[in-house]
Amino acid sequence: MKISTRVELGIVALADIAINSEKGDTVSSSEIAARQGISQKYLEQIIVGLRQGGFVKGHKGLGGGYKLARPANKIKLSEILNALDNTILADTYEEDEDNSNTIRSSVNSCLWDKFNGYMRRFSEQMTLSDLIRECKDNTEDKEQYLMYYI
């Protein structure tokens, strides 16, 4: 499966905002860009989609930046995916009535329908909060592997 950089970086930016605004601070796009190695110009285009999707609020002025518009545990991965690219969770094919008994039709229903269903269920159950928790756990595990003992 290929995910666009817009979706990938949108999720990264949203996670960055969630982590770095936990104490009520705003997070600027320049801070996100620097931390994540993303072009600020491209990031700002992505943030427009996140704002339109209702995931972040912008604050202007000195100390301005972005915060989550609602708690991370109320933002589902499926909502983020649909806001950034509404084709990811869409059906992979359209049924052709003339070919309903072909192998292609059987493969579509036996494989791709199930795959799409799993993907939808997974993304509807996972919240931004779950994703952040797993990322933190994953990072902590990697840090343990980098320890040197003398």
CATH value at residue 54: 1.10.10.10
37 in a domain, yes or no? yes
Asked whether residue 41 carries a pLDDT value surpassing 90, the answer given is: yes
- Structurally, the chain folds into a number of domains equal to 1
24 in a domain, yes or no? yes
Q: Categorize the per-residue pLDDT at 95 as very low, low, confident or very high, splitting at 50, 70 and 90.
A: low
What secondary structure does DSSP assign to 39-69, as a single string? -HHHHHHHHHHHHHTTSEEEE-STT-EEEES
20 in a domain, yes or no? yes
Helices (H), the chain: 5-20, 29-36, 40-52, 77-84, 103-107, 113-125, 128-145
Cβ contact 72:129 at 8 Å: yes
126 in a domain, yes or no? yes
Tell me which residue range forms the domain holding 22. 5-145
26 in a domain, yes or no? yes
Q: Note the pTM of the prediction, 2 decimals.
A: 0.79
Q: Residue 96: what pLDDT?
A: 56
Cβ contact 54:74 at 8 Å: no
79 in a domain, yes or no? yes
Higher-confidence residue of 72 and 137: namely 72
Q: Among the ranges 16-20, 85-89, 116-120, which has the highest mean pLDDT value?
A: 16-20
Cβ contact 99:69 at 8 Å: no
150 in a domain, yes or no? no
